[in-house]
Amino acid sequence: MTEPLNIGIIVGSVRERRISLPIANWVKQQIDPRPEFDADLLDLLDWQLPMFAEPNPPATGKYTGEKQRAWAATIGPMDGFILVAPEYNHGMSAVLKNALDTVAAEWARKPVAFVAHGGFGGARSVEQLREVTAALAMAPLSGAVHLQGAHKLREGDRFKAGDDENRRLAKLFDELDWWGRALRAARNA
């Protein structure tokens, strides 16, 4: 077995009573038994990234803010990402967009997968995220897990996925593994 891929599972909401956190915890529980991955949960509520207002564009790599530098140090070593993405008003959450905009090179040439919820299973959020992540030189995966009616599968602080959701997530992990290994090899070459 080769070295596991370092995967960041980013919780894309900071709202009170958000369902994104139980969904992200479900994703983490499902990925943890898989030896091909070493996953970390990155909760944007814990990060409290300020709305981007630093003097230098992130593309320069001249990070001046303490949280910006810490975020770059966390994102940089990752081999890929799973964005747990809510849909707010037909789009991605502002906090998730801000997290993506805060750094630049650390995202590049890495796969990104989407687990979305909200109207139409978060499809419009994912549509926007595909454009943004491609602009960051990431490799958005063709597959995504769209959770229709996710609120019905919430039991307190837990997300109670069924066999269908677990199967779709496992398929997403397989795609993330393939792309993560291919892109890590290319980055290391």
The predicted pLDDT at position 141 comes to 98
Side-chain half-sphere exposure of 186, counting CA atoms within 13 A:
12
Low-confidence ranges of the chain (pLDDT < 50): none
Q: How far is CA 55 from CA 58, 61, 76, in A?
A: 9, 12, 21
Structural domain span for residue 16: 5-188
* Phi, then psi, of 3 in degrees rounded to 5: -60, 135
Helix, strand, coil share (%) of the chain residues, nearest 5: 45, 20, 35
pLDDT at 52: 84
Taking only the tens place, the pLDDT of each residue in 9-35 is: 999 999 999 999 999 999 999 999 999
Residue 39, strand partner residues: 7
Q: Yes or no: say if 117 and 86 are a contact pair by the CB < 8 Å rule.
A: yes
Q: Which CATH number is 14's domain given?
A: 3.40.50.360
Report pLDDT for 53.
85
Instruction: Quote the pLDDT of residue 112.
Output: 98
Q: What are the tens digits of pLDDT across the range 149-174?
A: 888 888 888 999 999 999 999 999 99
Give the chain's domain count: 1
pLDDT of residue 86: 95
| pTM recorded for the entire structure | 0.96
Contact 117, 12 (CB under 8 A): no
